[in-house]
Amino acid sequence: LLAYNSSLTQTKGALSEARTQIFSTGFGEYGIFAGGIKSTVYKSTTDVFDASLTRTNPDSVLMGSRDAGAATTAGEYAIFAGGANAVSLLKDASACNTAFTRMQLDDLGSARDYIGAASTGDYALFAGGVNGSRTAVDAYNSSLTKVSVDPLSIGRHSYAAVSIGNQAVFAGGVDDEVIASVETYDESLTRTSTLELSEARYDLAGAVVGENALFAGGYNSAGASSIVDVFKI
């Protein structure tokens, strides 16, 4: 772990064990890193860093060892869903509060991995994926109840997902072809699909700066891209 404060002073830390394809989300004053894989060993380990960057290791917030799922927040809960383990794709979902007490939620509509997640209003949305229903969107409200929501207009995975203002934004990705479209869900879970990146690409990164959502890099049909698209709410 490398962290920088507002003066760009670097602070170093470490996970309790090395792993990749981790579930991660910011949650109040905490950053949560759960699950993942090292070599061929799937993990359920949970590392939590507080505002002072002190690490604790509560019991796992996941329903078992897994990687390549997604995490985001709804109200007072962090929510984790999907992924895969050594046996199968997964559709179960769990949540935790700030005491890191784990709760099991209703399953996703289909088992899938490499999904993305973002929040809008009181809802956590888990969208797309490599397997299962590639257009599926599962939503959980701040009471941890699963609610219905319109699917994506097209299947996608390896996209960027950000939460900004009252919008959950899913940009780019790939399925049968590389995708330029950007889909948004507002706090009433209404979907809009009128925006597009300037260049179709996947494995891009998303970030929020003030009122701006930035989508940077990734791969287009010709190779790596240096483009940054900016959308202002």
Could you report the per-residue pLDDT of 189-233, keeping only the tens digit for each?
A: 999 999 999 999 999 999 999 999 999 999 998 999 999 999 998
Task: Give yes or no for residue 16 having a pLDDT over 90.
Answer: yes
Q: What average pLDDT does the segment 134-156 reach?
A: 97
pLDDT at 6: 67
pLDDT at 233: 83
User: DSSP for 129-188?
Assistant: -SSS-TT-EEEEETTS-EE--PPPSS--BS-EEEEETTEEEEE--BSSSB--EEEEE-TT
Taking Cα atoms as reference points, which of 153, 93, 151 lies closest to residue 127? 151
Tokens of 120: 């809008």
Task: Give yes or no for residue 145 having a pLDDT over 70.
Answer: yes
| Nearest-angstrom CA–CA distance, 33 and 179 | 29
Taking Cα atoms as reference points, which of 121, 44, 125, 138 lies closest to residue 75? 121
pLDDT at 13: 83
Kindly report the number of other CB atoms within 10 A of residue 211's CB atom: 10
- Average confidence score pLDDT of the chain: 95
For residue 121, what are the CA distances in angstroms to 88, 102, 141?
A: 32, 22, 9
Kindly tell me the burial class for residue 216, based on how many C-beta atoms sit within 10 Å of its own C-beta (0-12, 13-18, 19 or more).
middle
Could you report the per-residue pLDDT of 47-84, keeping only the tens digit for each?
A: 999 999 999 999 999 999 999 999 999 999 999 999 99
Cβ-based neighbours of 150, under 8 Å, separated by 6 or more:
137, 189, 191
Could you report the per-residue pLDDT of 83-110, keeping only the tens digit for each?
A: 999 999 999 999 999 999 999 999 999 9
Task: Give yes or no for residue 12 having a pLDDT over 80.
Answer: no
CA 141 to chain centre: 16
